[in-house]
């Protein structure tokens, strides 16, 4: 209550000061010179291991961030950042497990396919907010290796739905300069979907405003195994020696190494489940988890803001002993 009294006092002070001085916000937007600043974004920090291993320093990725002086990207995008969020504390890489689509459909007496159709609008919304608020990488878990065990009809519908959505959204994707990468065992997908994926990846490879990574037929264990296979191939080809194999060598071969920021800062999972369900197992060591009860088709801007706000309030240690 003391805190609230202070807030009320601050509010009264603000009102009094606003009456005394004109607004300065309009003058900031009059100039619009372009500047590029390099932000250091520790998507994986320093780990201090004191038991048997030496201290190793994690990778610090630098990502170019283009800003217009005096003009926030927020204003250009048209979705203002809520006052409770801070631009400098925004996560650089957000991962999402879009769970609850079938339950959503079941609750409404609809077939599961309707739930899968309903997953697109919230995804579109989250992509837009990432573009507006400076999140550089968004990884979404669209289809897991275990999902292949679902009824064939449902699986076939899902794949054709992915293909239709990709083809219909390509213009918007190019306009917004979104880079698309698909990670997972694509060899098991229908040929037409594989072709669509190849085309989209090729078309968008030079886009840089947001990197959207779609995990389709992906599993965390699959990713680790395929990374180890790639390492084995490199040993066979003489590129690396057996005795040089360590976790860093394995890490470089993971599918998520398609981005400079392979480690999510924040993982959001909807539908109230408290698991990662074989998603990005290796990459989630220091990721903050945010589990929300809402089903994915009901996930909106407010819920996304809630996740970001929760993330910004946390003290991330990356394994440091503080």
Residues that bind other proteins (CB under 8 A): 3-4, 7-8, 11, 15, 47-53, 144-147, 149-150, 220-222, 224-225, 228-229, 231-233, 235-236, 242, 245-247, 249-251, 273-278, 281-282, 284-290, 314-317, 319, 321-322
- Closest by Cα among 96, 133, 137 to 261: 137
Distance between CA atoms of residues 244 and 248, nearest Å = 10
Q: How far is the CB of 226 from other proteins (least distance, A)?
A: 9
Catalytic residue, chosen from 99, 185, 237, 302, is 99
CA distance linking residue 174 with residue 218, whole number of Å: 25
Minimum Å gap between C-beta 244 and other proteins is 10
Pick the closer one to other proteins by CB: 57 or 167: 57
Output 20 or 34, the one with its CB closest to other proteins: 20
CA-to-CA distance for 271 and 104, rounded, in angstroms?
Answer: 9
Least Å distance between CB 90 and other proteins?
Answer: 18
Nearer CB in complex with other proteins: 48/125: 48
Please identify, using beta-carbon distances, which residue of 133 and 263 lies nearer to other proteins.
263
Residue 208 CA to residue 313 CA, distance in Å, equals 28
**N residues, the chain:** 322
Question: Would you say 76 or 146 has its CB closer to other proteins?
Answer: 146
Question: Shortest gap between Cβ of 147 and other proteins (angstroms)?
Answer: 5
Long-range contacts of 33-37 (CB under 8 A, 24+ apart): 33/68, 33/69, 33/70, 34/66, 34/68, 34/69, 35/66, 35/67, 35/68, 35/69, 36/64, 36/65, 36/66, 36/67, 37/65, 37/67
Concerning whether 156 is annotated as a catalytic residue, the answer is: no
Least distance from other proteins to the Cβ atom of residue 3, Å: 8
Please tell me what DSSP assigns to residue 51: S
Starting at the earlier edge strand, list the strands of the sheet with 288-291.
178-183, 210-218, 137-144, 93-97, 266-269, 288-291
| Residues known to be catalytic | 99
């Amino acid at each position: 209550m003391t805190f609230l009294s202070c807030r009320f006092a601050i509010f009264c002070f603000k009102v009094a000061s606003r009456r005394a001085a004109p607004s300065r916000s309009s003058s900031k937007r009059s100039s619009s010179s372009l500047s590029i600043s390099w932000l250091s974004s520790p998507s994986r920090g320093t780990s201090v291991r004191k038991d048997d291993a030496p201290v190793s320093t994690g990778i610090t990725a630098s990502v170019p961030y283009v800003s217009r002086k005096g003009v926030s990207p927020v204003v250009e995008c048209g979705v203002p950042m809520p006052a409770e969020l801070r631009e400098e504390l925004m996560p650089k890489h957000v991962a999402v497990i879009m769970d609850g689509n079938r339950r959503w459909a079941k609750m409404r007496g609809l077939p599961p396919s309707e739930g899968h159709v309903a997953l697109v609008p919230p995804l579109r919304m989250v992509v837009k907010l990432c573009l507006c608020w400076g999140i550089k990488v968004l990884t979404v878990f669209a289809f897991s290796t275990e999902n292949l065990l679902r009824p064939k009809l449902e699986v076939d519908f899902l794949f054709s739905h992915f293909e239709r959505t990709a083809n219909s959204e390509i213009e918007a994707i190019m306009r917004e300069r979104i880079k698309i990468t698909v990670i997972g065992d694509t060899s098991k997908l229908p040929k037409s979907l594989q072709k669509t994926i190849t085309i989209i990846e090729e078309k968008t490879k030079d886009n840089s405003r947001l990197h959207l990574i779609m995990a389709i037929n992906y599993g965390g264990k699959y990713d680790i195994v395929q990374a180890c296979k790639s390492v084995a191939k490199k040993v066979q080809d003489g590129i690396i020696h057996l005795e040089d194999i360590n976790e860093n060598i394995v890490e470089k071969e993971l599918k998520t190494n398609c981005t400079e920021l392979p480690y999510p800062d924040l993982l959001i999972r909807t539908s109230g489940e408290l698991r990662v369900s074989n998603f990005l197992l290796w990459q989630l060591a220091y990721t903050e988890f945010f589990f929300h009860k809402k089903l994915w088709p009901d996930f909106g801007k407010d819920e996304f803001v809630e996740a970001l706000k929760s993330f910004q309030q946390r003290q991330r240690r990356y394994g440091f002993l503080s």
